[in-house]
Amino acid sequence: MGQALGCVQVDQSTVAIRETFGKFDDVLDPGCHCLPWCLGSQIAGHLSLRVQQLDVRCETKTKDNVFVTVVASVQYRALAEKASDAFYKLSNTRGQIQSYVFDVIRASVPKLDLDSTFEQKNDIAKAVEEELEKAMSHYGFEIVQTLIVDIEPDEHVKRAMNEINAAARMRLAATEKAEAEKILQIKRAEGEAESKYLSGLGIARQRQAIVDGLRDSVLAFSENVPGTSSKDVMDMVLVTQYFDTMKEIGASSKSNSVFIPHGPGAVRDIASQIRDGLLQANPPQV
């Protein structure tokens, strides 16, 4: 209807290309425009000025012969002041951008190994953006931003990388565990050494107290009982301790301790006692 009345409407963020008898005439900005079709004027097409995005998947090989798929996201828009170039010079804008992305990525990634490709993806994106900006500016397009959004190695390579990472972490965990066990053993040994040291001090003090007590007892007994020597007093104390020990052993219902003299001389004495006991039980027959 608008064409029939000689008027045309151009939407916001869009420009229209006007031709007169098939020749480019003007770029129509958003709004309402008079279009005298009877004089050969017509709208050849519309061109969006909005920012558009193109995702490009490019398969290439790294320096260490690992095949990867690089996903680049290119954001671009047509320039209003160069709308005629953007409309007429390129028949397939997205295909042209994709070709440039392929060219730059396949020229940059083979110079890097796999780890460097991940680390320097911003440099790759910058190289793609500079090349696209230089090429597409002649066709009336502006490259707003270029991003490397993903780098996908082959599935087997990814699995191998994960296994290497897992093995490294397990090795680190084993090292940390060994260090922890080492610290525990050191602390345990230090604790045992300190315990034995304190136990030795306690035993030494106990024996010192026993010796002091025996000395006092011997001196007191010798003074109060005339005619006794220190040896007699010590023999009596030892006999008393022996019977006290036997009493404590006999008082326990679950005691299974047997005190036997030891040493070569003691063994000989025990053998003699056993032989004498057998002879007394079985006197020889005459």
CA distances from 117 to 4, 34, 56, 127, 164 (A): 59, 55, 17, 13, 18
Distance, CA of 238 to CA of 279 (rounded, Å): 32
Model pLDDT, residue 74: 93
Say whether both 93 and 146 belong to one domain: yes
Say whether both 62 and 123 belong to one domain: yes
DSSP classification of residue 283: P
Question: What tokens were used for 253?
Answer: 């219902």
Distance, CA of 74 to CA of 149 (rounded, Å): 10
Say whether both 38 and 122 belong to one domain: no
Question: Domain limits at 59?
Answer: 52-153
Say whether both 37 and 112 belong to one domain: no
Query: Does residue 237 sit within a domain?
Result: no
Say whether both 41 and 59 belong to one domain: no
Task: Give this prediction's pTM.
Answer: 0.55
Name the nearest CA neighbour of 60 among 119, 117, 109: 109
Q: What CATH number corresponds to the domain at position 81?
A: 3.30.479.30
Strand partners, 73: 55, 147
How many helices (H) and strands (E) the chain has is answered by 8, 8
Say whether both 21 and 56 belong to one domain: no
Say whether both 35 and 57 belong to one domain: no
Say whether both 79 and 147 belong to one domain: yes
Q: How would you write the pLDDT of the chain (286 residues) with one tens digit per residue?
A: 445 557 888 888 899 988 888 888 888 888 888 877 777 788 888 889 999 999 999 999 888 888 889 999 999 999 988 888 888 888 888 998 999 999 999 999 999 988 888 889 899 999 999 989 988 988 999 999 999 998 888 777 778 777 887 888 888 888 888 888 889 889 888 888 888 888 888 878 877 777 677 677 767 766 666 666 666 666 666 667 666 777 777 676 666 666 555 555 555 565 566 556 655 655 555 4
Say whether both 39 and 132 belong to one domain: no
Query: Does residue 20 sit within a domain?
Result: yes
Model pLDDT, residue 37: 76
Say whether both 57 and 42 belong to one domain: no
Query: Does residue 276 sit within a domain?
Result: no
**Domain end marker among 153, 178, 204:** 153
Say whether both 75 and 142 belong to one domain: yes
Distance, CA of 9 to CA of 30 (rounded, Å): 7
Query: Does residue 257 sit within a domain?
Result: no
**Domain end marker among 153, 185, 214:** 153
Query: Does residue 74 sit within a domain?
Result: yes
**Domain end marker among 119, 153, 187:** 153
Say whether both 44 and 56 belong to one domain: no
Query: Does residue 199 sit within a domain?
Result: no
Distance, CA of 26 to CA of 224 (rounded, Å): 142
Query: Does residue 185 sit within a domain?
Result: no
Query: Does residue 145 sit within a domain?
Result: yes
User: How many distinct structural domains can be found in the chain?
Assistant: 2
Distance, CA of 94 to CA of 76 (rounded, Å): 10
